[in-house]
Amino acid sequence: MIGRLNHVAIAVPDLTAAAAQYRSVLGADVGAPQDEPDHGVTVVFITLPNTKIELLYPLGEDSPINGFLAKNPAGGIHHICYEVDDILAARDRLLGEGARILGSGEPKIGAHGKPVLFLHPKDFNGCLIELEQV
């Protein structure tokens, strides 16, 4: 069902500093910040030859990243994203297997402009998983 790794998301306490570190210290291809109000985050994508890194920073007081950073003030890996061909078929299969989908269970449009869903971390060894339709 899952395809290739789309990205690893890292919550950061300082988006500008983190993007600069990837750009200057690691020599990575770093994109521009983009606000994602539906998800409560500002993101910066770092393009690697085989996948992407997504830097996450809170957008607003209700951002889910605020709670994560309160528990992890230095930041850290927030989630991993896998590609799927059909997000509704993937959702239905997962629900049939007893997995929990966060939110309403209906896909939202993610930072790449494609439908996404998040799976409950307690069902996947403590890892928050995002599925993105490609």
Q: Which residues are catalytic?
A: 130
Closest CA to 10 of 53, 47, 67, 39: 53
How is residue 11 written in tokens? 């919550």
Closest CA to 33 of 8, 14, 49: 14
3-class secondary structure, 6 = strand
